[in-house]
Amino acid sequence: MAKHHIQAQVNGDEVEFLCETEETLLDVLRDTLNMTGSKEGCSSGDCGACSVMLDGRLVCSCLVLGCEVGGRRIETIEGMAQGEKLHPLQQRFLEHAALQCGICTPGVLVASKALLERNSNPTETEVRYWLAGNLCRCTGYDKIVTAVMDTAAAMRKG
Amino acid sequence: MARVVLVGNLAQLTGGVTEFELSVTSVKQLFEQLTELYPAIGRHLDDGIAVAIDGQIYQDSLLEPIRPDSEVFLLPQIAGGSTSR
Amino acid sequence: MAETTTNGHAQSVVGTRTVRPDGVDKVTGRARFGADFNLPGQLIGRVLRSPHPHARIVSIDTSKAEALPGVKAVITRADFADQPSEFIPAGEMMMNYKDVVRNVMAREKALYEGHAVAAVAATSAAVARRACKLIDVQYEVLPHVIDAVEAMQPGAPLLHDDLFTVGVEPRPDKPSNVAKKIEIKQGDIEAGFQKADLVIEREFKTAPVHQGYIEPHAALATVSEDGTAEVWCSTQGHFIVRAHCARLLGLDIGKVRVTASEIGGGFGGKTVVYLEPLALALSKKAKRPVKMVMSREEVFKASGPTSGATVRVKMGATKDGKFVAATAELKYQAGAFQGSPVQPGVMCAFAPYDIEHVYVVGYDVVSNRPKVAAYRAPGAPISEYAVESVVDEIAKKLDIDPIDLRMQNAAREGTKAAYGPKFGPIGLEETLNAVKKTEHWNAPLRKWQGRGVASGFWFNIGGETCVSLTVNEDGTVSLVAGTPDIGGLRASLAAVAADELGVPFDKVRPIIGDTGSLGFNFLTGGSRSAFSGSMAIVEAAKQIKADLCARACKMWEAKPEQVEFSDGAVRPLGALAEKAKPMTIADFARVAGKTGGPIGGVGRINAQGAGPSFGTHLVDLEVDPETGRATILRYTVAQDAGRALHPAYVEGQYQGGAVQGIGWALNEEYIYGADGKLQNAGFLDYRMPVASDVPMIDTVLVEVANPKHPYGVRGVGETPIVPPLGAIANAMENATGIRFTELPMSPPKVLKALKEKGLNKA
Amino acid sequence: MRYEAPGTVEGAVALLAGATGEARVLAGGTDLLVQMRADIVDPGLIVDIKKIPETRAITEEKGGWRIGAAVTGAELKEHPKLKKAWPGVVEAANLIGSTQVQGRATMGGNLCNGSPAADSVPALIAAGALATLAGPKGRRDLPVEDVMLGPRRLALEKGEIVVSFLLPPRPPRSSDAYLRFIPRTEMDIAVVGAGVNLTVDGSGIVTAARVSLGAVAPRVLLVPEAAQAIIGSRLDKPAQERLEAAARAACRPIDDKRGTTEFRIDVAAVLTRRAALIALDRARTS
């Protein structure tokens, strides 16, 4: 059957695309919209590398069909920095060396931002459980958790 | 005369002899002399042998100097993060 | 301006926590990894894989697939020339291409579930998927064998009828699944054990575990009609990829250009080729670019995990704790083709200790599993886990503090290593002392909690390295390295370049060059890239400084001894200082053309003098006696870095290795059914640690300078995964009173053991 | 592959009833999309029920709660009144997958995926929840324990969908709890799951209870014997031992990659006891 014609908002921009029913939002972002910041690590919702915000809700874009997102608001890693200025999380991930290979970093950052928007003062345990769906094989999570908590503290000070 | 010791399976190519006293001034010379003594060992020397001269391991170097009082060990190369055999 | 100096090299940037030059791209999603490359007109490639663990391939009919609209090429074994059975240097790695070509694409037989038997290139992923279903492969299914010990039994299903055990005299007349027997001997074992008051012998089993990099293998390849080829791929060594691909496709090395993408983790698993030769062969046929990306299931089923193994260790000690003799027998799974890391396993087993009489024998065994690939300190964690467990048991039996016992027997400068040569300056004692000084070591524990300690060793390597430094017109510096940056390499190398040339860190732009831009580089592995790369940069910088001094002499009509290079400028000395002003690198850059042309240097070295790195880990855990689940409560790593070029990324290596070790010890394993098929080929049931599984990982950077490196650097990447298995097993013993000799120590195993002792009550 | 997102239950039912080939309902998609990727299912029609208002609503009804089949775990968690009334049901739904999966996964999907290890199902069964189904023949209510017949086998007829769940009114001094065992702290499929829902009288004696076990049989079990074992008790040691014995007796698990038969039975007993004690504590203070 014919492809679906979808209109949605990605990082504030109106986008239009065509997709097959079986194509996931991740396929659409990476292959159709050429936004390769969201990564595919497992395509089964187990690694979190494809994390995006869908209408303000943190989801794995590999578990969303492209044809489901008509009229909806999507935010990806590409929209995290505000113009010239990095998001405080991005800045602190750099300062704390909270990334090594960097493949999980976009997903971890999108998920961390979602956490801080709901909880400006998370405990270490809350950060660890919130990020349990974001696998990182390089860092052992230590510097990631430190960077998130340090960012939260700084943002609270404003 | 440098003291040369074979580690691991190389001794099987020298009829079990594991220690030699050889007067050589470089790894290249050492390999040549061993190959003269035991032709069968030649191929293995080109094929992934590391040399430890006075405690310092050289993964692959024909030109490292060997002093008369040096202690030299021949051991398998360590490929490390790469494929190990 | 220099704050510190090691081995005569002043440092102001080295040793500081700079922001990595490639960092912004990685936090904004801009960095391009393996699957992020695309070319106009590209096709999508897909591999058809064997559903059987062991089967003769009777026939492959691709006609239906080829007839499907949108299919542009189909390849099988027929598209790859056979290779002779000989070990050939591929770059620096020795490979038996007879096996490499068969692992890339099955020939006579499929040797493991997931073994590639054909591949297609089509206009879309969906078409490629349909095409694979249309390929008709006739298999003659054969009996399979998964476990190495079973594979060693006479009468076990034979994988290769031309595989005769190497290393046994006389050479066997019958083929077997044992590829190799290796031994190291030292002293007189019998006599050694005579001196022992206490002898402990135990057998251990470890499960195969996967490197678990989050980025699946990916490659994009294009071959032109004239035989020139380009490959973009995620690899730890693009020069190695080039060598393999040229060999397998019969291309000139010079005609193959490989660009390494940003790499999403490797840990040794991306040192070999899987998709690259297939993508090239498909592109050659289709005359269009071909992109291939593995699914996570393919990564687990068809790329290399590390060996599972059976290890028997026997150690003898005097009643006052001196180790007098030790033997070990190692049986390592190689997967479907020979080449397990049993060799380093044998050499590392007793390396941390000063033992007079040692005998270790190892077997390299093939079975119907994916061919193993290197995984962080290949082979070492397995044999050292067994040894560290026995060492702990000796400490208990002799009632000696486990750190004191290790200290008493620790290898130190001048100790004859179990594998032969004497150690130079090493830091094992320092790491033991560091751990003992932590507050962690003396913190109180409750019931069902236990503390474990273990040490670990890895050789580290150097190897062929080529790096270029170019001074640009404005005085900024371009740094080109040829080893993929897998965890902060560019930050470390840029720091060294900045200090060597006396330019600000942010004026150095480091990139990873393709295979056309530099001389041969061995891969990122063996904990070598920062060690060797920094040595090559020192060499390249030396050339630049000499050139600038020579130019200054000409401009100032001075003699060489009247000038010197320091703090980023050529300075006139003595009387000359009256009439000449110092010239900075930027000053020279402005007049480069007038004074002889572009300014630059190329470091071309085969780095020697890699210093071993020792580490000691300390872990607390708690066991739930009713469910057998262990929770890691606290963790401390102390390791000798020689000199930490970038402390934050060195800590990162310690922390990441420790957590990989936690996964290996507690939950990770390949689970096979009786049908020889992998049952947990996904992140759901292959259980790597998640953020909520682990605590903060405290680190202690021990620095015992490596005298053979200009900055005293030792490789740090691999040693951190060696101690965790033993440390956690020892902590489990202290928590439960039970010695676990089989990994992973997963809840069902632990609860069973507790029940047998009647301990499964809170 | 056809995709439809009807706005009414009738529309969804008509599409599914009229489907010729394999048709699948899409709620959160956290199982369906994975199975499509893995080539386990290849439906010709996908019916997305998230555009149907009543599958997305949480409403009070007859003193109890009606929860739409397509309400996500994250939405349940953010509903304080529901969380207070049925903490066990909400915590069970919140154990399904990661934070990301929580943003999508639904109890309707969790039930209709037909897995004996589904986390929310034992909690719903213990709660005495009804599933409201709609099909070509109209609507009917079915106790949740009767919806799943076995692995991937449901009592739904062709064209029938689960529209919502009805949680009964809460008597005073009653509460529930759900515990599951996994090797890691997150992300795994339950090796064992135990849901307990109970009511105590003023003196702390259990007057009513329902116990349900997951991942220990081909379907999620309601275990009346386990409930009987504690009714009339204060959940003292002997009652706890009777409870554990009843739970053990009910288990008919398999050996698989996630756990052995012996392990599942042992842990089922432990979790049932622990869940009961948590529920008791909550009931006393509710």
pLDDT in tens, D16-40: 999 999 999 999 999 999 999 998 9
pLDDT at position D278 is 98
Angstroms from B64 CA to nearest CA on chain C: 10
Q: What is the CATH number of domain B2-76?
A: 3.10.20.30
Averaged pLDDT score across all residues of chain C: 95
Q: Which of C755, C753, C727, C726 is nearest to C738 (CA)?
A: C753
A116 and A64 fall within a common domain: no
pLDDT at position B4 is 93
D242 in a domain, yes or no? yes
D191 in a domain, yes or no? yes
Which of A38, A42, A68, A127 would you mutate first to test chain D, the one with the most D CBs within 10 A? A68
Are the C-beta atoms of C355 and C418 separated by less than 8 Å?
yes
Is residue C526's pLDDT more than 90? no
Residue A115: list chain D partners with CB under 8 A. 99
Q: What is the pLDDT of residues C454-463, one digit of tens each?
A: 999 999 988 9
Fold of C4-30+462-607: Aldehyde Oxidoreductase; domain 4 (3.30.365)
pLDDT at position C169 is 82
Tokens for A96?
């704390």
Q: Point out the least confidently predicted range of A67-81, B45-59, C299-313, C569-583.
A: B45-59
D269 in a domain, yes or no? yes
- Under an 8 A CB cutoff, do B83 and C347 touch? no
Residue A96: list chain C partners with CB under 8 A. 648
Residue C670: list chain D partners with CB under 8 A. none
What are the boundaries of each domain within chain B?
2-76
Q: Which structural domain, as residue segments, surrounds residue D208? A: 174-285
Q: What is the pLDDT of residues C12-42, one digit of tens each?
A: 999 999 999 999 999 999 999 999 999 999 9
The rounded distance, in Å, linking the Cα atoms of D249 and C706 is 64
CATH number at residue A135: 1.10.150.120
Location of structure tokens 């397995």: C382
D192 in a domain, yes or no? yes
pLDDT band of B84, cuts 50, 70, 90 = very low
- The maximal CA–CA distance of chain A, rounded, in angstroms, is 55
pLDDT at position C6 is 76
Is residue B80's pLDDT more than 60? no
Q: What is the CATH number of domain C421-460+611-756?
A: 3.30.365.10
Domain C34-143+214-298 annotated CATH 3.20.20.70: no
Length of chain D: 286
SS3 of residue D201 by DSSP: coil
Residue A134: list chain C partners with CB under 8 A. 691
pLDDT at position C1 is 42
SS3 of residue C599 by DSSP: strand
What whole-number percentage of chain C has pLDDT above 90?
Answer: 93
pLDDT band of C3, cuts 50, 70, 90 = low
DSSP symbols for C621-686 = EEE-TTT--EEEEEEEEEEE-SS-SSHHHHHHHHHHHHHHHHHHHHT----B-TTS-BS--STTTS
Q: What is the pLDDT of residues D103-115, one digit of tens each?
A: 999 999 999 999 9
Q: Which structural domain, as residue segments, surrounds residue A112? A: 88-157
Q: What is the pLDDT of residues C272-294, one digit of tens each?
A: 999 999 999 999 999 999 999 99
Is residue C642's pLDDT more than 80? yes
SS3 of residue C183 by DSSP: strand
Q: Which of C205, C147, C204, C209 is nearest to C664 (CA)?
A: C209
Chains adjacent to A (≥3 CB pairs closer than 8 angstroms): C, D
Is residue C92's pLDDT more than 50? no
Are the C-beta atoms of C625 and C762 separated by less than 8 Å?
yes
D223 in a domain, yes or no? yes
D212 in a domain, yes or no? yes
pLDDT at position C9 is 79
Q: What is the CA radius of gyration of chain B?
A: 12
pLDDT at position C89 is 57
Are the C-beta atoms of C748 and C470 separated by less than 8 Å?
no
- Under an 8 A CB cutoff, do B81 and C523 touch? yes
Task: Read off the pLDDT of each residue in D50-63 and give the average, rounded to a whole number.
Answer: 97
Task: Read off the pLDDT of each residue in C360-367 and give the average, rounded to a whole number.
Answer: 97
Q: What is the pLDDT of residues C189-212, one digit of tens each?
A: 999 999 999 999 999 999 999 999
pLDDT band of C94, cuts 50, 70, 90 = low
Is residue C672's pLDDT more than 60? yes
The rounded distance, in Å, linking the Cα atoms of C694 and C692 is 6
Tokens for C623?
């066991």
What whole-number percentage of chain A has pLDDT above 90?
Answer: 96
Residue D256 or residue C8, greater confidence? D256
Query: In chain D, how many domains are there?
Result: 1
- Under an 8 A CB cutoff, do D187 and C629 touch? no
Is the CA virtual torsion C345, C347, C348, C354 positive or negative? positive
Is residue C49's pLDDT more than 80? yes
Is residue C467's pLDDT more than 50? yes
What are the boundaries of each domain within chain C?
4-30+462-607, 34-143+214-298, 421-460+611-756
Asked if this assembly's ipTM is beyond 0.90, the reply is yes
A107 and A153 fall within a common domain: yes
Q: Do chains D and A touch (3 or more CB pairs under 8 A)?
A: yes
Q: Point out the least confidently predicted range of A105-119, C118-132, C515-529, C610-624.
A: C515-529
Location of structure tokens 């090299």: C9
Tokens for D61?
């009804």
Task: Read off the pLDDT of each residue in C360-377 and give the average, rounded to a whole number.
Answer: 96
**Bond prior to C625 in cis (omega within 30° of 0):** no
Is residue C4's pLDDT more than 90? no
State which amino acid sits at residue D32: L
Q: Which of C132, C134, C171, C167 is nearest to C45 (CA)?
A: C132
State which amino acid sits at residue C313: V
Task: Read off the pLDDT of each residue in C502-521 and give the average, rounded to a whole number.
Answer: 97
pLDDT at position B85 is 26
Which of D237, D257, D264, D273 would you mutate first to test chain C, the one with the most C CBs within 10 A? D257
Is residue C2's pLDDT more than 70? no
Is residue D1's pLDDT more than 60? yes
Is residue B58's pLDDT more than 90? no
pLDDT at position B83 is 33
Task: Read off the pLDDT of each residue in C148-158 and give the average, rounded to a whole number.
Answer: 96
Angstroms from B28 CA to nearest CA on chain C: 16
A97 and A63 fall within a common domain: no
Task: Read off the pLDDT of each residue in D166-181 and give the average, rounded to a whole number.
Answer: 98
What whole-number percentage of chain D has pLDDT above 70?
Answer: 100
- Under an 8 A CB cutoff, do A133 and D103 touch? no
pLDDT at position B16 is 81
CA end-to-end distance (rounded Å), chain A:
52
Averaged pLDDT score across all residues of chain D: 97
The rounded distance, in Å, linking the Cα atoms of A41 and B6 is 46
pLDDT band of A52, cuts 50, 70, 90 = very high
CA end-to-end distance (rounded Å), chain B:
32
Q: Are C4-30+462-607 and C421-460+611-756 the same fold in CATH?
A: yes
Q: What is the pLDDT of residues D193-205, one digit of tens each?
A: 999 999 999 999 9
Is residue C119's pLDDT more than 80? yes
Is residue C241's pLDDT more than 60? yes
Adjacent-strand bridge partners of C229: C223, C256
CATH number at residue D267: 3.30.390.50
Residue B73: list chain C partners with CB under 8 A. 420-421
Q: What is the pLDDT of residues C438-447, one digit of tens each?
A: 999 999 999 9
Query: In chain A, how many domains are there?
Result: 2
Residue of B nearest to C166 (CA): B9
D207 in a domain, yes or no? yes
